[in-house]
Amino acid sequence: MNYKIAVIKGDGIGPEIVEASMKVLDKIGEKYNHTFDYTEVLAGGAAIDACDTPLPQETVDICKGSDAVLLGALGGPKWDNLPGDKRPEAGLLGIRKALGLFANLRPAMLFEELRDASPLKSEIIGDGLDVLVVRELTGDVYFGEKKKDGDFGASDLMNYTRPEVERIARVAFDSAKKRGGKVTSVDKANVLETSRFWRSVVLEIAREYPDVELDHLYVDNAAMQLVINPHQFDVILTGNLFGDILSDEASMLTGSIGMLPSASLGEGKFGMYEPIHGSAPDIAGQDKANPIATVLSVAMMLRYSLGLSDEADNVEDAVKKTLAQGYRTGDIAGDNSNVVGCVEMGEKIISNL
């Protein structure tokens, strides 16, 4: 089969980690007899520099005409002082909205080999960590009306509508069915009308999934529970703002933030795939970046958008093998590791495919 992939290399270490990951994908193509046609498009800082906008219309059009989008990382200090709507982040928020990517899947899992990198005590980690955060991505206070009242004040509207909550809830329940069978919906229903509404819709959708367990936590409590008892979680279902905070907290607890992929999905199979870490401008261009989160994002792309789950398993297994062989980029290096650069890490993974 022939697949069209739109590629946004992005800023900082973006190009290096994406190039390493494309080579992994090419090798998968060879092995399983697929071709991947890449079209490179611009967003974020690179687009600001080239076209004076963080999200050119051409980028949106080409992404829409593709089977999936692979993204490196956007942003950097160079563009930090631009006005809000001209900054790289505006490109990221814009592309999520333009492509209708309402479901952000962020697995926070611990790699057994990197267990020591977790900030949590060993007793708490126990036999590992494996939480999937399902974050709504195109609604909430992120996209509600914004107002600036001169020098006197400012506001953002937090809101959710029924169809928005229904569809993200279904993604969470469907995911839980394939995992541990439990959804924890996180809100602030003791204070927010939006959260009370969110909770009522989640309760309705839950009836379609009698075999999935559901519970509800307030966001302040969820932030605490993640730290003291992460094993109680299987799938965390939450809105855009709380999901931003909790998914980052959860990833950090694994100690493996350079390893964690993410998928942003819409209706149907189309999706955008990116590592959860940032563009790390301080090490850009030095062949020091860790490509694993991007390689694992490619695995998610194979599984979710292209329906190639054997191929996805193969990539994930190759990453595990490479870690087991002791290869590490600088960010995850321990005392006895074999430190390699970004390019070599990619090659080692390919050799394990």
Ligand X SMILES: CC(C)[C@H](C(=O)O)[C@@H](O)C(=O)O
Q: Which residues are catalytic?
A: 142, 188, 220, 244, 248
Residue 215 in the binding site for a copy of itself (CB under 8 A): no
- Is 76 assigned a ligand-binding role in the annotation? yes
Look at residue 65 and give the partner it binds from ligand X, a copy of itself, none, a contact being a CB closer than 5 to 8 Å depending on partner kind: none
Residue 232 in the binding site for a copy of itself (CB under 8 A): no
Angstrom distance (rounded) from CA 175 to CA 246: 18
Q: How far is the CB of 330 from a copy of itself (least distance, A)?
A: 17
Look at residue 105 and give the partner it binds from ligand X, a copy of itself, none, a contact being a CB closer than 5 to 8 Å depending on partner kind: none
- Asked if residues 348 and 327 have their Cβ atoms less than 8 Å apart, the reply is yes
Residue 334 in the binding site for a copy of itself (CB under 8 A): no
Residues ≥6 apart with Cβ < 8 Å to 298 = 21, 24, 25, 70, 273, 315
Residue 120 in the binding site for a copy of itself (CB under 8 A): yes
Give whichever of 54 and 346 is closer to a copy of itself, judged by the CB atom.
Answer: 54
Query: For residues 104-123, b (16+ Cβ closer than 10 Å) or e, as one string?
Result: bbbbbbbbebbbebbebeee
Rule CB under 6 A: which residues touch ligand X? 89, 92-93, 190-191, 220, 244
Handedness of CA 178, 181, 187, 193 (dihedral sign): positive
User: How far apart, in Å, are the Cα atoms of 124 and each of 187, 218, 322?
Assistant: 24, 21, 27
Select from 2, 33, 81, 190 the one that contacts a copy of itself (CB under 8 A).
190
Residue 245 in the binding site for a copy of itself (CB under 8 A): yes
Residue 252 in the binding site for a copy of itself (CB under 8 A): yes
Residue 159 in the binding site for a copy of itself (CB under 8 A): yes
- Asked if residues 328 and 337 have their Cβ atoms less than 8 Å apart, the reply is yes
- List the 68-73 sheet strands across, edge first: 35-40, 2-10, 68-73, 271-275, 261-265, 103-109, 130-136, 235-238, 182-187, 213-218
Angstrom distance (rounded) from CA 178 to CA 132: 11
Q: How far is the CB of 244 from ligand X (least distance, A)?
A: 4
Residue 288 in the binding site for a copy of itself (CB under 8 A): no
Task: Report residue 45 as tokens.
Answer: 């800082």
Binding positions: 76-89, 96, 106, 135, 220, 244, 248, 278-290
The residues that touch a copy of itself, with contacts defined as CB under 8 A, are 84, 87, 89, 93, 118-121, 124, 141-142, 144, 146-149, 151-162, 188, 190-194, 196-198, 219-221, 223-224, 227-228, 241-242, 244-249, 251-253, 257
